[in-house]
Amino acid sequence: MIRGIRGAITIEHNTEEDIQSATERVAKAVIAENNINPDSVTSVFISVTDDVNAGFPAKVIRQFEGWKYVPVMCMKEISVPGSLPKCIRVMFHVNTEAAQDEIKHIYLDGAIVLRPDLHNS
């Protein structure tokens, strides 16, 4: 079965370094907490808010050992007035036998406000 595993993080500055560092942090946390093997991943979608445009977050995941052939795509998050700024969201589509309530979604830094109900799960 394919399950979506979410993650999100905010950056302080719209720089390539901050984008790469934050993407690496949230992606590695999602991977580690859910014991994800790249061969079980169908694809990874990454969205960014309008104020995050100094680099490609997908580039980071493609550089992980064993992730070269995993389809990874970046896109813009819809721009809703008052929404969380400087946010990078990831969605891993993973083949897993885990139940929905066994999935560990990861929200870091300012992105914790997006799903406080899942923060400690």
Say yes or no to pLDDT of 115 above 90.
Answer: no
Contacts of 89 (CB under 8 A, 6+ apart): 6, 7, 8, 46, 47, 48, 77, 111
Q: Reduced to 3 states, what is the DSSP secondary structure of residue 70?
A: coil
Chain segment 26-75, per-residue pLDDT in tens: 999 999 999 999 999 999 999 999 999 999 999 999 999 999 999 999 99
Kind and range of the H or E element at 16?
A: helix 16-33
pTM value > 0.95: no
What is the chain's length?
121
Which active-site residues does the annotation give?
A: 6, 62, 74, 77, 89, 107, 115
The bridge status of strand 41-48 relative to strand 72-76 is parallel
Say yes or no to pLDDT of 121 above 90.
Answer: no
CATH for 2-118 (2.40.128.630, 3.30.1330.40, 3.40.630.30, 3.40.50.300): 3.30.1330.40
The answer to whether residues 38 and 66 touch, using CB atoms and an 8 Å cutoff, is: yes
Q: Map tokens 């694809």 to a residue.
A: 43
